[in-house]
Amino acid sequence: MADAVNGVVAVAVETPQHTGLGAPLDYSADALPPGTLVRVPLGRRDVPGIVWDRPAEAEAPPELRPVREVLAAMPPLGASWRQLVAFAAAYYQRGLGELALAVLPPELRKLDDVQLARRVARLRKPAVPARAARRAGLAAATAAAEAADAQHGVQPAADTPEAAPAFPPAEAGPPAAAEAPPLNDEQQAAVDAIGAAAGTYLLHGVTGSGKTEVYLHAAEAALAAGRQVLVMVPEINLTPQLEARLAQRFAGRRLVALHSALTPAQRLKHWLLAHLGEADLVLGTRLAVFASLPRLGLIVADEEHDPSFKQQEGARYSARDLAVYRGHLEGVPVVLGSATPSLETWQRVQEGRYTRLALSQRIGGGVLPRVRLFDMNTLPRQRGSAAPALAPALVDAVAERIERGEQSLLFLNRRGYAPVLHCTACGWKSGCPHCSAWRVFHKGDRSLRCHHCGFSERVPRACPDCGNLDIAPLGRGTERLEEQIAQLLPGARVARIDADTTRLKGSLEAQLGAVHAGDVDVLVGTQMIAKGHDFRRITLVAAVNPDSALFASDFRAPERLFALLMQAAGRAGRDAQQAARSEMWVQSWHPQHALYAALRKHDYEAFAASQLEERQSAGLPPFSSLALLRAEAREASIAQGFLRAASELAQAMADEAGVTLYPPVPPPVARVADVDRLQMLVESPSRVALQRLLAAWLPQLHALRSVHKGVLRWAVDVDPLAI
Ligand code: ADP
Ligand code: ZN
Ligand code: ZN
């Protein structure tokens, strides 16, 4: 390696973006392998940095500042980790050093070498009791320790081997701690395929079809081959069961969690355990895709379609997409699990780039609940009042469940009591003075709260405009639904779970515990309750008002609604006896809609085919690539001016490259916290063309921005979720 030629090293540091997209900077130092953590002077400060690969032919400037401190206590970050980070930075248009440092645990940057050495030593101690280690197979544990030690050397050769061999077929690994059920044929075929060759696999099966069991078996094979396993989930608190199952099945192994709800100290510890090769399994959210895993052998992304895999601030990366890239880079299988794959994934299956592994039955013969579409148009409408939010027939169905000792789950994607208050005399509405949005009426604390900027006030006694005392809620949120159910079904034990009732740490767990214990008859909530939880006693699931997604401007809204409804349906009747009397209700004013027709038949493929056809004719992803340039300023004209100038800069390049620049438009909520927002869509049928344009264009935008310093913020979102 030529990285340390002439005592010059390149160091990735967090530079402000306008100084040239954060390319590594040169410093003088004795030979240091790439991936080494250092501290270097930048301006008048010392900052953390990572030694980066330096092209041999690069010329060194005559005067270089020296590296101040080398954190040699930790093995360097491997070559494939650096490649992943470099790819992500380039693809999502962020500074290399900015991204590389942002994905490390924040605590790591604060330590000096002595402090780091102490922590590393502590973590290297065998934390597994001897008996458990024996149970888990000493061979694998020793191999792990050796692999980690091999990394510990200071020579550049300490890098992670790039391409790892696929794990050996069905060698007897360490016996699993908890009894694993024998797989059915489809599960076995899936496990065999995953173990046989690296590649990207779509594990396609409804809730309860045994996907998790496939992950566990594939993980077991990888662990037996001495490899580490990365399992990613959209939101950690929605999947306590998965963590429990992993911990149970692999009791002799070291499992660590990586997500943003950990304390900084925990996050550092878990990250280090993974990096040192001490942890065998990492269970995490999107940020875990950047975990350093020197022995990586398998990546699983459960619920791969979930929007939470996309980071929504800073580097707006898709952890799902990066997982696929990482698998490819390191030559390890990537398993994407879903009942309703993203259309991007589905299209890649159609093109033969991903392999679909289908699990077509629910384990134990459970069927999916019957879908009942309730036509809201059939309800009598009383003059002057909105139609009731709940069909009497649905209320009856809930009452039946209560009599039988079963549970019902009703979800509505709107928290609070009512989305807006209004005055019947003058038409005043509870707008937010700082945003182009209504303030939501929360009855519990009698507040009017803006869900965009947080501005909150006590509900006024009378209309602020005309003094009328008759101000009334319009529409319904979960709080009102809860109240309504309690009125309609006196004596029923109703619980509500949404962002308002789960603000306190531990409250979600406590409320879920009550549902599991059978202390709740009717569970009301936002879509957060429709995902993930394994509720055993629920035999009725109802979507109270899902129609709005059918006509939303967001082109992914139907895809998301279908996934949500399928996932919600999966909550009901997980055991075979209950399944027979389980139902999913959908209250709709458009019951004939094709989406609901497909849902009724649980027909993902028909839905996907029709959506893909629409996307293709509209030139939308996955048939095109998008980027969104967002700008915000206190005055809309500044954002407008910036985007216009940006557009002019790119127009010639875009025309030549076959990239379309659309005029700037306001997003659905244009003004938030007194800041006006605008966005400009950039689209191309070719991902490569779009990438090339962005790479050439963005440095010019950094220069352009300095004109508006302090009053304008802008960012680019590559592969945005919504446009
Ligand atoms: P999914 O992840 O698709 O929802 P799971 O893997 O959780 O499905 O399986 C659903 C239930 O069936 C779980 O309780 C699991 O332990 C059980 N299960 C899975 N596969 C088998 C099998 N082959 N034999 C018996 N039980 C199984
Ligand atoms: Zn009024
Ligand atoms: Zn507001």
What would you report as the CA-atom Rg of the chain, rounded to the nearest whole angstrom?
A: 27
Q: Which residue has the higher pLDDT, 160 or 388?
A: 388
Residue 177: pLDDT above 70?
A: no
Instruction: For residue 154, name the pLDDT band (cuts at 50, 70, 90).
Output: very low
Q: Average model confidence (pLDDT) for the chain?
A: 88
Q: Are 340 and 407 in a shared domain? A: no
The answer to whether residue 108 sits within a structural domain is no
Higher pLDDT: 456 or 172? It is: 456
What is the pLDDT at residue 130? 46
Residue having the nearest C-alpha atom to atom 9 of ligand 1:
210
Distance CA 167, CA 172 (A): 12
Q: How many CA atoms lie within 13 A of 348 on its CB side?
A: 15
| CB of 53 shorter than 6 A to ligand 1 | no
| Ligand in closest contact with the CA of 450 | 3
The single-letter DSSP state of residue 480 is: H
Dist. CA 36–CA 648, nearest whole Å: 42
Ligand closest to 426 (CA) is 2
For residue 288, report the phi and psi dihedrals to the nearest 5 degrees. Answer: -70, -15
Global pTM exceeds 0.80: yes
Among the ranges given (130-134, 248-252, 398-402), the one the predictor scored with the smallest mean pLDDT: 130-134
E strands, 326-385, are 334-338, 355-359, 370-375
What pLDDT score was predicted for residue 611? 96
The closest-lying atom of ligand 1 relative to the alpha carbon of residue 214 is: 6
Q: Give the DSSP per-residue string, 428-440.
A: -B-B-TTSSSBPE
Ligand approaching nearest to the C-alpha of 438: 3
Separation of CA 149 from chain center: 33
User: 158 lies in a domain?
Assistant: no
Q: Which one, of 542, 538, 497, lies nearest residue 393 by Cα?
A: 542
What is the distance between the terminal CA atoms of the chain, rounded to a whole angstrom? 44
Helix (H) or strand (E) holding 506: none
Under DSSP, the state recorded for 206 is: -
Per-residue pLDDT at 17: 57
91 lies in the same domain as 185: no
- The arithmetic mean of pLDDT across residues 332-351, rounded, is 98
Task: Mark whether 371 and 343 lie in a shared domain.
Answer: no
pLDDT at 518 over 80: yes
pLDDT digits (tens, 9 = 90+) for 424-444: 999 999 999 999 999 999 998
Q: Tell me, using a 6 A CB cutoff, whether residue 338 lines ligand 1.
A: no
User: Which of 543, 532, 415, 547 shows the shortest CA–CA distance to 482?
Assistant: 415
540 with 406, same domain: the answer is yes
Can you tell me the distance from the alpha carbon of 670 to that of 26, in angstroms, rounded to the nearest whole number?
Answer: 43
Q: How many CB atoms lie within 10 A of CB 139?
A: 12
Q: Mind listing the pLDDT tens digit for each residue in 562-616?
A: 999 998 888 876 666 777 889 999 999 999 999 999 999 999 999 999 999 999 9
Tokens representing 113 are 């070498």
Model confidence band, residue 131 (pLDDT cutoffs 50, 70, 90): very low
**Residue 471 contacts by C-beta under 8 Å, 6 or more apart in sequence?**
421, 422, 423, 424, 428, 460, 462, 463
Q: Which atom of ligand 1 is nearest to the CA of 205?
A: 3
Nearest residue to 650 (alpha-carbon basis) of 660, 640, 638: 660
- How are the residues of the chain apportioned to helix, strand and coil, as percentages rounded to the nearest 5? 40, 20, 40
Among 160-164, 207-211, 246-250, 529-533, name the one with the lowest average pLDDT: 160-164
In DSSP terms, 281 is beta-bridged to: 229, 255
For residue 415, how far is its CA from the centre of ligand 3 (angstroms)?
Answer: 16
Say yes or no: 395 and 493 in one domain: yes
pLDDT per residue as tens digits for the range 644-699: 999 999 999 999 999 999 999 999 899 999 999 999 999 999 999 999 999 999 98
What pLDDT score was predicted for residue 151? 41
Same domain (yes/no): 88, 183: no
From the CA of 469, which ligand is nearest? 2
Q: What is the pLDDT of residue 382?
A: 61
Query: Greater confidence, 573 or 312?
Result: 312
The mean pLDDT value for 76-87 works out to 97
Query: Is 134 domain-assigned?
Result: no
Q: Which of 6-10, 128-132, 208-212 is predicted with the least confidence, judged by mean pLDDT?
A: 128-132
pLDDT at position 127 is 53
The yes-or-no verdict on residue 383 having pLDDT over 60 is no
| pLDDT at position 210 | 94
- Per-residue model confidence (pLDDT) at position 536: 76
> Closest Cα to atom 16, ligand 1: which residue?
213
Ligand showing the shortest atom-to-Cα distance for residue 674: 3
Average pLDDT, integer, range 512-530: 89
Contact yes or no for 632/675 (Cβ under 8 A):
yes
Let me know: does 541 contact 585? Beta carbons within 8 Å: yes
349 domain-assigned: yes
pLDDT at residue number 238? 67
Does ligand 1 lie within 6 Å of residue 212's CB atom? yes
Percent of the chain topping pLDDT 90: 70
Tell me the three-class secondary structure of 143-178, residue by residue.
HHHHHHHHHHCCCHHHCCCCCCCCCCCCCCCCCCCC
- Provide the annotated binding site for Zn(2+): 423, 426, 432, 435, 450, 453, 463, 466
Cα 605 to ligand 1 centroid, rounded to whole Å: 23
For residue 166, the model assigns a pLDDT of 41
Mean pLDDT for 621-646 is 94
* DSSP state string for 313-337: SSS--BHHHHHHHHHHHHT--EEEE
Tell me how far the alpha carbon of residue 73 lies from the centroid of ligand 2, in angstroms: 68
345, pLDDT greater than 90 = yes
The answer on pLDDT for 478 being more than 50 is yes
pLDDT at 373 over 90: yes
| DSSP-derived secondary structure letter, 310 | B
Residue 437, phi then psi, degrees to nearest 5: -155, 160
Nearest CA to ligand 1 atom 6: 210
Residue 102 in contact with residue 314, Cβ under 8 Å? yes
Q: What is the pLDDT of residue 577?
A: 74
CATH code of residue 16: 3.40.1440.60
Residue 584 forms part of a structural domain: yes
Upper half-sphere CA count for residue 509 (Cβ side, 13 Å): 8
Q: What whole-number distance in Å separates Cα of residue 25 and Cα of residue 9? A: 8
Helices (H) and strands (E) in the chain, counts: 20, 28
Assess whether the C-beta atom of 187 lies below 6 angstroms from ligand 1.
yes
Residues 324 and 394 in one domain: no
CA 7 to CA 353: how far, in whole Å? 44
Task: Please give the number of the atom of ligand 1 that sits closest to the Cα of 302.
Answer: 2
pLDDT confidence band for 499 (50 / 70 / 90)? confident
Report how far apart, in Å, the C-alpha atoms of 235 and of each of 99, 260, 276 are: 22, 10, 25
Residue 153, pLDDT > 90, answer no
Of 188, 213, 215, 217, the residue with max ligand 1 atoms within 8 A of its CB, to mutate for a pocket test, comes to 213
pLDDT of residue 705: 66
640 Cα: distance to centroid of ligand 3 (angstroms) = 21
* HEC per residue, 277-300: CCCCEEEECHHHHHCCCCCEEEEE
Q: What is the pLDDT of residue 21?
A: 56
pLDDT over 60 at 241, yes or no? yes
Where among 615, 647, 675 does a domain terminate? Answer: 615
Q: Which residues are annotated as a binding site?
A: 423, 426, 432, 435, 450, 453, 463, 466
- Number of independent structural domains in the chain: 4
Domain that holds residue 294: 172-364
CA distance 61 to 26: 8
Q: Do residues 508 and 577 both lie within one domain? A: yes
668 or 337, which is more confident? 337
- Specify the amino acid at residue 21: L
Whether 388 contacts 508, CB under 8 Å: no
Position 468 pLDDT exceeds 90: yes
Rounded to 5°, the CA angle 620-621-622 comes to 135
Predicted confidence band of residue 147 (pLDDT cuts 50, 70, 90): very low
Q: Inform me whether the pLDDT recorded for 174 exceeds 70.
A: no
Distance (Å) from CA 435 to ligand 3 centroid: 4
200 CB within 6 A, ligand 1 = no
Q: Is the CB of 181 under 6 A from ligand 1?
A: yes
Q: Give the other-Cβ count within 10 Å of 503's Cβ.
A: 9
Ligand 2 center to 586 CA (angstroms): 36
Q: Which of 88-92, 158-162, 470-474, 541-545 has the lowest mean pLDDT?
A: 158-162
Which residue from 216, 363, 535, 571 has its CB within 8 A of the most atoms of ligand 1, so it is best to mutate?
A: 363
Pairing mode, strands 583-588 and 370-375 = parallel
ipTM over 0.95 threshold: yes
Domain end residue (candidates: 67, 102, 137): 102
Task: Report pLDDT for 277.
Answer: 96
d(CA 234, CA 564): 14
Cα separations (Å) of 202 from 349, 694, 722?
Answer: 8, 30, 23
Q: Give the Cα separation of 393 and 402 in Å (integer).
A: 14
Q: Which amino acid residue places its CA nearest to atom 20 of ligand 1?
A: 210
SS3 state at 717 = strand
Ligand nearest to the backbone CA of 457: 3
Task: Tell whether ligand 1 has an atom less than 6 A from the beta carbon of residue 83.
Answer: no
Of all protein residues, the one whose alpha carbon is nearest to atom 23 of ligand 1 is 183
> Is residue 205 in contact with ligand 1, taking CB distance under 6 Å?
yes
Look at residue 638 and tell me if it is in a domain: yes
In 3D space, the residue among 331, 405, 341, 412 whose CA is nearest the CA of residue 581 turns out to be: 405
Question: How would residue 457 be classed by pLDDT, with cut points 50, 70 and 90?
Answer: very high
Is 446 domain-assigned? no
Nearest protein Cα to ligand 1, atom 26: 181
Q: How far apart are the CA of 526 and the centre of ligand 3, in A?
A: 21
In a domain, 3, yes or no: no
Of the bound ligands, which one is closest to the alpha carbon of residue 427? 2
Cβ–ligand 1 distance for 576 under 6 Å, the answer no
183 lines ligand 1 (CB under 6 A): yes
Ligand 1 pocket, residue 363 CB under 6 Å = yes
Query: Which CATH number do you get for residue 279?
Result: 3.40.50.300
* Tokens, residue 15: 């530079």
DSSP alpha helix (H) spans, 413-537: 478-488, 507-516
If one compares 162 and 656, the residue with the highest pLDDT of the two is 656
The least confident of 68-82, 232-246, 587-601, 603-617 is 232-246
171 vs 695 pLDDT, higher one: 695
Does residue 622 have a cis bond before it (omega within 30 degrees)?
A: yes
Distance CA 133, CA 614 (A): 54
Please tell me the distance from the alpha carbon of residue 676 to that of residue 679, in angstroms, as a whole number.
10
Starting from the edge strand earliest in sequence, which strands make up the sheet with 494-497, in order? 370-375, 583-588, 538-543, 407-411, 522-525, 494-497
In the reported structure, the alpha carbon of residue 664 is separated from the centroid of ligand 1 by a whole-number distance in angstroms of 49
How far does residue 100's CA lie from ligand 2's centre (Å)?
54
Q: Pick left, alpha or beta for residue 518 (phi over 0 → left; psi -120 to 50 → alpha; otherwise beta).
A: left
| Residues with C-beta atoms within 5 A of ion ligand 3 | 432, 434-435, 450, 452-453, 455
Are 595 and 644 found together in one domain?
A: no
- Nearest CA residue ID for atom 12, ligand 1: 363
Pairing of strands 420-423, 471-474: antiparallel
Burial 340-375 (b: 16+ CB within 10 A, else e): bbbbbbbbbbeeeebbbbebebbbeebebbbbbbbe
Asked if residue 374 and residue 279 are part of one domain, the reply reads: no
Kindly give the distance from the C-alpha atom of residue 636 to the centroid of ligand 2, in angstroms, as a whole number: 30
Query: Can you tell me which atom of ligand 1 is nearest the CA of 182?
Result: 23
Can you give the pLDDT at residue 388? 64
Residues bordering ligand 2, an ion, CB closer than 5 Å: 423, 425-426, 428, 463, 465-466, 468
Same domain, 666 and 609: no
Q: How far is residue 119's CA from residue 142's CA, in Å, rounded to a whole number? A: 21
Give yes or no: residues 518 and 398 share one domain.
yes
